[in-house]
């Protein structure tokens, strides 16, 4: 079970116990003054102090539930805790009203008991004298007990307030611890990401150097190929020029030979006439 859920369940149990005690104390305050035995055993300020302590504990439990409700794991539990907190507020308000009414009833009972006691004291006799002495002794003891009870109640109230402050401080420290843990996990994630990025940058740098080397070698080979092609091209041009010059030289030489033959009376294209006798029969040797 989650720690927050356990804390909510513990708060519910403490609420039930404190609520029952508060109702018992309020009932005792309401019945105060009706019987002398109860009036002698418990004083009204003491009962009010106990009731106030129970109400203060209920208020601290409300504050604790108000802090724990938003931290519950599911939305249904959060809504249930919120509804429970509203019901606790209503119950606490009803208890305070009941305490106020119980004090009014106790005062009425005390006035009624005082009236009866006054009537008995004014009646006279030995019983009245003994009762007056007892009342004086009890009044002194009651005042001393009430002063001690008030001081103890104030001390208890201060302790309850200090406990509430400590609880709120503890909750704040726990929340801060959770935030620090989340920040630490995020920092570790960023650190691993930075390490991977650093390795990737190193790889990219090595790849960049390799690419530069490949480009330099490729450019060198390309330059060599271009130079080779250009040199071969210039060689072919020179050969063509030589062939053309040779052809031109040959044509010029033939033209000079033809001119010399004409000058010497030689004509290769001349057709000479031959006289063949008519009476001579032509035989086909085939």
Tokens of 13: 């149990």
Nearest-angstrom CA–CA distance, 125 and 121: 9
Q: Is the dihedral of CA 181, 186, 187, 192 positive or negative?
A: positive
Distances (CA, A) of 46 to 53, 123, 147: 10, 32, 10
Q: What is the tens place of the pLDDT at every residue in 245-254?
A: 778 777 766 6
Looking at residue 214, its pLDDT comes to 93
- Domain residue limits, the chain: 3-192, 220-261
Q: Report the pLDDT value the prediction gives residue 132, as an integer from 0 to 100.
A: 56
Of 141, 78, 142, the closest CA to residue 110 belongs to 142
pTM, entire model: 0.43
Q: What is the chain's pLDDT, residue by residue, as a tens digit (286 residues)? A: 578 888 888 888 988 888 898 888 888 888 877 765 555 556 777 888 888 888 888 888 888 888 888 888 888 888 888 898 889 889 888 988 988 888 888 888 878 777 766 666 555 555 555 555 665 565 556 666 677 777 787 888 888 888 888 888 888 888 888 888 888 888 888 888 888 888 888 899 999 899 999 999 999 999 888 887 877 777 676 777 777 877 877 776 666 655 555 455 545 544 444 454 544 444 444 3
- Name the residue among 31, 25, 29 with its Cα closest to residue 53: 25
Structure-block tokens of residue 126: 């030995």
Asked if residue 2 lies in contact with residue 73, where contact means CB atoms within 8 angstroms, the answer is yes
Q: Would you state the pLDDT for residue 274?
A: 46
In angstroms, the Cα distances linking 205 to 126, 174, 211 are 116, 46, 10
* Ordered DSSP codes for 186-227: HHHHHHHHHHHHHHHHHHHHHHHHHHHHHHHHHHHHHHHHHH
pLDDT (0 to 100) of residue 129: 57
């Amino acid at each position: 079970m989650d720690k927050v859920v356990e804390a909510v369940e513990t708060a519910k149990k403490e609420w039930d116990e404190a609520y029952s005690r508060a109702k018992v104390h309020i009932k005792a305050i309401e019945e105060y003054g009706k019987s002398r035995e109860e009036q002698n055993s418990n004083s009204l300020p003491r009962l009010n102090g106990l009731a106030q302590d129970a109400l203060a504990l209920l208020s601290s439990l409300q504050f604790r539930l108000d802090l724990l409700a938003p931290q519950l794991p599911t939305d249904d539990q959060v809504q249930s805790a919120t509804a429970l907190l509203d019901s606790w507020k209503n119950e606490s308000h009803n208890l305070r009203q009941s305490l106020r009414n119980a004090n009014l009833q106790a005062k009425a009972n005390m006035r009624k008991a005082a009236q009866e006691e006054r009537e008995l004291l004014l009646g006279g006799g030995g019983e009245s004298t003994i009762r007056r002495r007892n009342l004086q002794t009890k009044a002194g003891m009651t005042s001393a007990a009430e002063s001690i009870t008030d001081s103890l109640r104030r001390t208890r109230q201060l302790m309850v307030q200090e406990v509430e402050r400590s609880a709120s401080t503890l909750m704040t420290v726990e929340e801060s611890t959770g935030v620090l843990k989340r920040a630490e996990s995020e920092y570790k994630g960023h650190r691993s990401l930075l390490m991977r990025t650093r390795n990737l940058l190193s790889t990219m740098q090595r790849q960049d150097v390799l690419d530069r080397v490949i480009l330099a070698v490729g450019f060198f080979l390309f330059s060599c190929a271009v130079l080779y092609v250009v040199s071969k091209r210039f060689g072919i041009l020179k050969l063509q020029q030589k062939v053309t010059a040779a052809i031109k030289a040959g044509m010029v030489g033939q033209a000079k030979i033809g001119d010399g033959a004409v000058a010497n009376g030689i004509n290769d294209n001349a057709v000479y006439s031959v006289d063949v006798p008519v009476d001579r029969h032509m035989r086909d040797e085939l």
